[in-house]
Structure 1
Amino acid sequence: MAAPSIDIVLASFNGERFIEQQINSIQSSLNYQTLVRRILVVDDGSSDSTPSIVTKLMQTDSRIELHGNPGPAHGAMANFAFGLSLTRAPYVMLCDQDDVWHPSKIDKSYKAIVDSDVNRVALPRLVFTDKRIVDESLNELYPSFFDFRNISRQWHSSIEQLMQQNVASGCTMMLNRPLIELAMPIPNNAFMHDWWLVLVAKLKGEVIFIDEPLMDYRQHGNNTIGAQNYSWRYLATHMTHHLDKFACYLWKSADQAAELNQRFSNSQIEQSAFANLRRYAYFPRLWLFAKGKLRQHSWKGQAALFVTLLRNNKRI
């Protein structure tokens, strides 16, 4: 087998509760020794024992490295972007500090992306997977994130849909080198690093979905937003708060789509209603919704989108 070709970028911040278990799950992965070059732990200024835990693990595994994010930008997107700047590996996986990887995650992701790379043009490629949702103690809450959120397995097949709603979680991704070289640097107008990466891959290369949960996505006090599915009753009680959040989400994702067009000058994006959403006045935006040009993958999302467009009666 060829020399190890995968770097894992693990972003950390005050992750002392779970980071050792996460790194242990990576080390226990199938073909870890032959496939993984480095685990790059990129810390964003932890004030707990996260750095000392990683330093301890480094003593028994030379693949582990600890890097501090020097800034000036901080937060998840900036931290992952800094981690990506540290690697020159042919393939890179992104990793959160509080999940647990299944033994086959690395191996299956690697085979999927290598099978696509072999004997073909070196296109930018991204592989992502489903994930199992668990509680703090790793008890299963939902066997599939896609089933839980009622997400179409084909949503990622359309760049127009991907611009409006991301379904590829960074913690499930593997990227190839051509994608990293093309997508970096991640622009300030990106909504989030993983969303930007999958958009670039879809626009300029290939996105591959493994329809299998290959990791446990842990839900705890600081990490519940990614897998919540609010009831209608809850949403009605907190409607104003959630509509304000959705409006922020909508316009920021539209700005990201416009940034994608500016970076790559693609005719498909130039003609996209969503990428040009800020240029439309009030009634044309409602007409775009009526024609199905603006959409979310769930009925709740569609309802929030419609009410948000109704509320925003001025050109933004």
Structure 2
Amino acid sequence: MATYNGEKYILRQLQSILSQLNPEDEVIISDDNSTDTTLAIIVQIGDKRIKVYKNQGLRGPLHNFEQAIRHASGNYIILSDQDDVWMPDKAQTIRSLLKNHDLVLTNCEVVDQNGTIIHASYFKHRGTKSGFWHNLYKNSYMGCCMAFRREILTYVMPFPTHIHMHDWWIGLLVELKGSVCFYPQPLLQYFRHGENASTTGEPGYGLLKRLKHRVFMLWHVAARILSR
């Protein structure tokens, strides 16, 4: 999990996660120098499975998530935002699916700040489907819905500095080098409250910026594939 000024949401999210983890599991949190009470709330939870690190690298979600992943020690890694809510069977379902796949992308409900459903299926709303070229053009890989086997870190890490987002990068590389499962049942509530770090699923970037993101991504993916 990458956190930054998430005091409004972090307790709710961590409670939904911790309630379904095993004693040997861990919650790795990389905090991007929050200036609110996010870290104090995490400490007050008092769960030894939570391990907090302050982001020592470049600022922003991309590098904050990279640090969190570097500190993870488990065979299965589930990405999480600070402001969503996991459904009760998420962790168990992910464990089962990762036995046979390198990466799992699960569906989610898109909800507003009050928990009212905006889209019952993000997959349907987004037109989600597999395929490298489809996802280069219209990305389906949303980090809070992703989980993967540790083995893929050999080719997805480190993250290039100039790519747009980590989840898009990971998804495209595993499309080329691994096996992906698109799981159609929603396993979390994806909150859109106006303070999100990304514009996923919403209008946000102009045509030129979207084209630039895709050119940079394609170039970096090709460079990584050819170098390994």
| Bin of the TM-score, shorter chain as denominator length | over 0.9
Q: Does 1:169 align with 2:142?
A: yes
Question: SS of the counterpart of 1:265?
Answer: helix
Cα displacement string for residues 221-280 of structure 1 (whole angstroms, at most 9, x for unaligned residues):
21283233x6xxxxxxxxxxx7x72211212212111111111129xxxxxxxxxxxxxx
- 2:25 pairs with 1:37: yes
SS at match of 2:22: helix
Normalized against structure 1, the TM-score is what?
A: 0.68
Match of 2:155 in 1: 182
User: Which residue identity is paired with 2:18?
Assistant: Q
Is 2:4 aligned against 1:19?
Answer: no
Matched, 1:91 2:76: yes
In structure 1, how many angstroms separate the alpha carbons of the residues matched to 2:199 and 2:178? 30
Secondary structure of the 2:26 match is: strand
Larger % of helix: which? 1
User: In the alignment, what sits opposite 1:259?
Assistant: 220
Q: Encode CA deviations 1:63-110: one digit per residue, 9 max, x unaligned.
A: 011110012x11000100111111232110110000000011111111
Q: How many Å separate the matches in 1 of 2:78 and 2:123?
A: 20
1:160 matched to 2:133? The reply is: yes
SS in structure 1 at match of 2:6: coil
Contact 2:28 2:50 in 1 (8 A): yes
RMSD, aligned CA: 1.7
Q: Does 1:201 align with 2:174?
A: yes
Q: Which residue of 2 aligns with 1:128?
A: 105
Are 2:50 and 1:76 equivalent residues in the alignment? no
Pick closer, same or farther for the CA change 1:194–1:22 going to 2, 3 Å. same
> What code does the residue aligned with 2:65 have?
F
Counterpart-to-counterpart distance in 2, 1:186 and 1:62: 29
* 3-state SS of paired residue (2:189): strand
Partner Cα separation in structure 1 for residue 103 and residue 222 of structure 2: 20
Deviation at 1:138, TM superposition (A): 1.4
SS at match of 1:201: helix
TM-superposition CA deviations, 1:154-211 (whole Å, max 9, x none): x31x212222221021101111111112210011132210011011111111111101
The aligned counterpart of 2:93 is: 108
Q: TM-score, normalised by structure 2?
A: 0.93
Tell me if the contact between 1:164 and 1:254 (Cα under 8 Å) persists in the aligned partners: no
Give the counterpart of 1:225 among 184, 199, 212.
Answer: 199
Question: Matched residue of 1:225: which SS?
Answer: coil
C-alpha distance in 2 between matches for 1:214 and 1:205:
22
The secondary structure found in structure 1 opposite 2:206 is: helix
Structure 2: unaligned runs, 5 residues or longer: none
Amino acid at match of 1:247: L
CA distance in 1, matches of 2:143, 2:113: 20
Equivalent pair of 1:12/1:44 in contact (CA under 8 Å):
yes
Give distance in 2, aligned partners of 1:227 and 1:164.
14
Structure 2 equivalent of residue 48 of structure 1:
36
Who wins on radius of gyration, i.e. which is larger? 1
Higher RCO (C-alpha 8 Å, min separation 6): 2
CA distances 1:109-156 after superposition (whole Å, capped 9, x unpaired): 110111x16xxxxxxx1101111011112122221112223x04xx31
Rounded to whole Å, the distance in 2 between the matches of 1:65 and 1:216 is: 24
Q: Secondary structure at the match of 1:47?
A: coil
Inter-partner Cα distance in structure 1 for 2:173 and 2:162: 14
